Structure 1
């Protein structure tokens, strides 16, 4: 046998071994999602509970700094509408940036996608959520998930005074089937009194001709971020967008496959701030985080996931929440990729 034959033979053996190994690994990591239960979630929660020690509760908004860093909750809403909750499931926290996907749905429903995205981009970013990005160059926000784009999105919702906020609240109550949802006035006042950076973005966009109204529109943004929710509410939001805007109980009032694709695409590329690219690689699911400690996740066509743990990593995402999601995704092979 010549050297070339030996090389070809060895190469063939290596390829066969590689394929065999991959088949075994894939078989080991794939599990039937119908087996997800509270026991499953509880096991994952307990495994990742201590990750809060690697994060820090947001305190740039004083009221948020009062949250219990040890609080943790995990919720899943499956395709049949069945809800599984573990941890501090009754614990309320403010929705913060997760409200941006609700505002985007309303703005696009009213104004049309082309009109909304004529004023901002579809781009991802390597900058923090409150970065001015290219407001001083192109004059337009990079995307509707960063603060600048989200402030602009809310301003595009029609109605005077607090009408745009009330529309967001109404849709949140519908999606979660929870009419008790409301904003926390203390957090709202705290955000309003310290939100100078957001105020700067507002006036820079007003100067650029993107916003024509007054600061009432910015107040609506502060209010939408201050709405209190639970991990279960977030799981229901994730389910809604994962299933063509159909509610977890099957109510199809807002069914819209294109809207679902738009929202999930923005969640995937920009929903986890500057960590979004790495998150797409590790978790691989449309997700949106908030500095209140929550993350909502859409598993397209399958389920919604909601997590809560207020200690944030350096990107502003829940440290324990991320690891709970990652473990569930690995165990049930949920990544889109």
Structure 2
């Protein structure tokens, strides 16, 4: 819109104010994230530490119920592989549903997006992560971020026995550049022995003709959920998808902007389950949570963020983790919107 400044009283003051505000907003939105310091992160962590008292550790899986609710960590990975960690950065926890984005990447890489999404939807959801939604009507999972879709995704990865799981584990090790990562056998056994709802989804999809294998495929899903890592590892995963499947150290072996866009879009619309819509409004970043207390966040083209606090809200998302992300996003204007 062209402004006729000759018609405005005090036009010099008006235009100066207009352009200073305009430039100020743009400068604020493009603030250099390299200015984030360990001190800043520590302040954010300590401000939100007490939120654990309002949440609950996931005890429906007995081994997860043993987690220390007071544990908390925050990590960011930026350009040139710069890493900042605060809190209980050495504390390991299981990936749980965060592993779903790795499995989706592998399945789509092997079979193609059309083949994978012919068997499930791209939909968001108003239902919890372990809902049977859609399976009894259309017969297909709503999306690959809910348990049913994730179980199906893992079953689509090529290989017999535990080979699909080993592909997921190797990819997590590659992305994090951490060959010591492995799965927690106690958590795996706990998930397998109590995972009757997931088993029901598996057999319902098998009945619908979506799955043709045996329970080895379901066991691979339980194993991938049991992979242990740290908040820093999550930040590196977030960075990987934020930067077109390029690793934090610049390794571009798996570079693929299309797959990164697919993963990030699913993280945005369904990565926080039925809270995803509100989360998109308040945080506005592709994110994936897990009931182990972790959240992996991608700031497209910029950085990865990893948070950990095992006390969960009613949706199954880390309560203190969410509030740490929210503060970080507000302070540094990281939302994509």
The corresponding residue for 2:13 is: none
Shift of 1:26: 7.3
Structure 2 residue matching 1:76: 3-state secondary structure: strand
The corresponding residue for 1:209 is: 209
Q: Distance in 2 between matches of 1:55 and 1:23?
A: 41
Shift of 1:32: 2.5
Structure 1 residue matching 2:76: 3-state secondary structure: strand
1:235–1:269 CA distance, 2 compared to 1 (3 A): same
CA contact 1:133–1:142 (8 Å) conserved in 2: yes
Shift of 1:216: 0.4
1:66–1:18 CA distance, 2 compared to 1 (3 A): farther
CA contact 1:30–1:331 (8 Å) conserved in 2: no
CA contact 1:329–1:335 (8 Å) conserved in 2: yes
The corresponding residue for 1:5 is: none
Structure 1 residue matching 2:297: 3-state secondary structure: strand
The corresponding residue for 2:293 is: 293
The corresponding residue for 2:318 is: 318
Q: Deviations over 1:305-324 (max 9, x none)?
A: 00000000111000000000
Shift of 1:80: 1.4
Q: Distance in 1 between matches of 2:99 and 2:297?
A: 13
TM-score between both structures, scaled by the size of structure 2: 0.93
CA contact 2:161–2:217 (8 Å) conserved in 1: yes
The corresponding residue for 1:88 is: 88
Q: Distance in 2 between matches of 1:256 and 1:30?
A: 25
Q: Distance in 2 between matches of 1:155 and 1:146?
A: 14
Q: Distance in 1 between matches of 2:271 and 2:232?
A: 19
1:22–1:127 CA distance, 2 compared to 1 (3 A): farther
TM-score between both structures, scaled by the size of structure 1: 0.93
CA contact 1:49–1:72 (8 Å) conserved in 2: yes
1:19–1:290 CA distance, 2 compared to 1 (3 A): farther
Q: Distance in 1 between matches of 2:107 and 2:183?
A: 20
Q: Say whether 1:126 aligns with 2:126.
A: yes
The corresponding residue for 1:166 is: 166
1:67–1:22 CA distance, 2 compared to 1 (3 A): farther
Shift of 1:252: 0.3
1:30–1:253 CA distance, 2 compared to 1 (3 A): closer
Q: Deviations over 1:94-117 (max 9, x none)?
A: 000000000000000110000000
The corresponding residue for 1:4 is: none
The corresponding residue for 1:254 is: 254
The corresponding residue for 1:272 is: 272
Q: Deviations over 1:165-185 (max 9, x none)?
A: 000000000000000100000
Q: Deviations over 1:1-29 (max 9, x none)?
A: xxxxxxxx9xxxxxx99998888777668
The corresponding residue for 1:65 is: 65
The corresponding residue for 2:330 is: 330
1:236–1:102 CA distance, 2 compared to 1 (3 A): same
In the alignment, structure 1 segments of 5+ residues that lack a partner are: 1-8, 10-15
Aligned-pair Cα RMSD in Å: 2.2
CA contact 1:29–1:331 (8 Å) conserved in 2: no
Structure 1 residue matching 2:81: 3-state secondary structure: coil
Q: Distance in 1 between matches of 2:192 and 2:244?
A: 34
Q: Distance in 2 between matches of 1:300 and 1:30?
A: 13
Q: Distance in 2 between matches of 1:207 and 1:305?
A: 39
Q: Distance in 1 between matches of 2:71 and 2:159?
A: 37
CA contact 2:28–2:333 (8 Å) conserved in 1: no
The corresponding residue for 1:242 is: 242
Q: Distance in 1 between matches of 2:19 and 2:136?
A: 51
CA contact 1:125–1:273 (8 Å) conserved in 2: yes
